[in-house]
Structure 1
């Protein structure tokens, strides 16, 4: 009797899950660094707590699904005819984590004061795309429960439409949010090299984050529609939540380091040359009002000698 080679079928699920374990471990370390040290608002801390809890629950649900397909039903392809409830629930958690991360990006943009006249148009467009992605994700999860026989094999068209809607608008939201934040950072540049260096670092981080999450969303869409009879898309789907969590916590943990750099390099003292001006004023007063100038005036002049003054201060919103 010929053996059934199932490695090509289940390999994307298995290796995608292995990668997700590494990414999940990174998220746990980042969360461990964040919570004891940060004193953010209750809203931000609640969002961070939901991200780590949803990420851990996602890993547990996917582990149960991998166990179901590879251990009790090892060597059989019949279980692929139906998607497990755990995978459907994991898709719901993925939708919630994506929406949370994008809402936090909108929250950051709302705190920005330099988007000026087009500020609310930009924020409204990003919010609209994020809501459409969230609605598509909820509809996708509902179709997975209703048409559970048409997800992994014999794909249902309704499920495919809502899946594309969720991932497509999710990628568009990340692109728009990245462009908007880079526009703000670019407009905030001044004539101080230290300030521009910090802003360039922020822009690189925002671009890297946007490119990473957009790439995995795009790769997920391409593999989903190009190879409908394969499970390549599952490898990307498993790691979407991990990347959103991995890019969420570094934004929170990196703020203190950037603020310290701003404090030590941007706000620097410069020593003004007030000596010459003060002497001229003293001599002129002495000529005009002889006898009214005494040693107390000289002491006042000395008190103003070489006093540090702030030449430039730049306020950068927390990202």
Structure 2
């Protein structure tokens, strides 16, 4: 009888702890992927601008600290307070700190995407609202963290200031939707009509939707769990993984540049090979003669050669898409 009572108490007490444990394990797995992507970034892009390298290193350090706080939360819930009937409602300070760390990572990643949007659009009326909402999300998370530490119990936090945490998750989801829609809009406007260029733009749009929608969906599910069932801490287990998803989104975006350049190089090599065949078959000065005074019957060939050269330029510019300044300058130069 006594053993049954102990087992029921343990099961009741540690329902929230299981959510935190599973969330921490998932977060640790995603953190390993973050570390792998950081290693890949510094190996492939050691010549990147200092601001990009500094951002990647800073995000990595925040991610490591977040993982350490998640592990400390597990220690508090599962070991230090094992069997404590009040632990389910208690907010440990490492758990509260993870909320602030998630907000900081979210802030820097969303600011990076806002910067990309501005370099593409040169429009403050689009970029400024995203920046304001991102900053408001960070402020809401910092207020939530301070109140969690001050109150120390989820029941009191939900009753007194839980709406601030709700606002923070809502703002994060809203910004993700705005960033995804805006990037896809301007990418779609950058189409030139060339078939191979269209394929690359389609790939970038699909990649943008996939990476940003993952963070958006996870944040939305965490918000729903927070509103509907805050006491079982499922929302917190999901929240542990949100920061990792944002970090992976940033790193995957930066690391994808090699693949885009590879596609551009293959197209350029094909164009150069076609031009070399023309020169071999008709003589080295044939193309120059076509440009100066094309004879009758060679107009279609001249047009074909010119189109291939234009495609090479367009692909070379688009290969640097993830370096927004170069992409924007390339588009303006083409015009």
State the shift of 1:131 in Å: 1.4
Q: Once the two structures are superposed, what CA deviation does each residue of 1:198-250 show, in whole Å capped at 9, x if it has no partner?
A: 11111111101121011011111100011133211111111111111111111
The 1:71/1:195 distance shift into structure 2, 3 A limit, reads same
Q: In structure 1, how many angstroms separate the alpha carbons of the residues matched to 2:16 and 2:57? A: 35
Aligned to 1:14: 21
The 1:310/1:61 distance shift into structure 2, 3 A limit, reads same
Contact 1:65 1:87 in 2 (8 A): yes
Q: In structure 1, how many angstroms separate the alpha carbons of the residues matched to 2:196 and 2:289? A: 30
The 1:310/1:227 distance shift into structure 2, 3 A limit, reads same
| Richer in helix (by share) | 2
Aligned to 1:75: 83
Aligned to 1:126: 130
Q: Give the count of matched residue pairs.
A: 292
Q: Which runs of 5+ in 2 are unaligned?
A: 296-301, 324-335
For the pair 1:62 / 2:70, whether they are aligned, the reply is yes
RMSD across aligned positions (CA): 2.7
Aligned to 1:197: 199
When normalised by structure 2's length, the TM-score is 0.80
Q: In structure 2, how many angstroms separate the alpha carbons of the residues matched to 1:69 and 1:213? A: 27
Contact 2:37 2:252 in 1 (8 A): yes
The 1:194/1:83 distance shift into structure 2, 3 A limit, reads same
Deviates more, 1:245-254 or 1:262-271: 262-271
**Mapping of 1:1-319 within 5 angstroms?**
1=2, 2-3=5-6, 4=9, 5-6=11-12, 7-38=14-45, 39-112=47-120, 115=121, 119-149=123-153, 151=154, 153-265=155-267, 268-269=271-272, 271=275, 310-312=309-311, 313-314=313-314, 315-316=317-318, 317-318=321-322
State the shift of 1:169 in Å: 0.7
The 1:40/1:76 distance shift into structure 2, 3 A limit, reads same
The 1:189/1:154 distance shift into structure 2, 3 A limit, reads same
Contact 2:102 2:242 in 1 (8 A): yes
Q: In structure 1, how many angstroms separate the alpha carbons of the residues matched to 2:204 and 2:152? A: 44
The 1:128/1:307 distance shift into structure 2, 3 A limit, reads closer
State the shift of 1:154 in Å: 4.3
Contact 2:81 2:87 in 1 (8 A): yes
When normalised by structure 1's length, the TM-score is 0.83
Aligned to 1:290: none
Contact 2:99 2:145 in 1 (8 A): yes
The 1:280/1:154 distance shift into structure 2, 3 A limit, reads closer
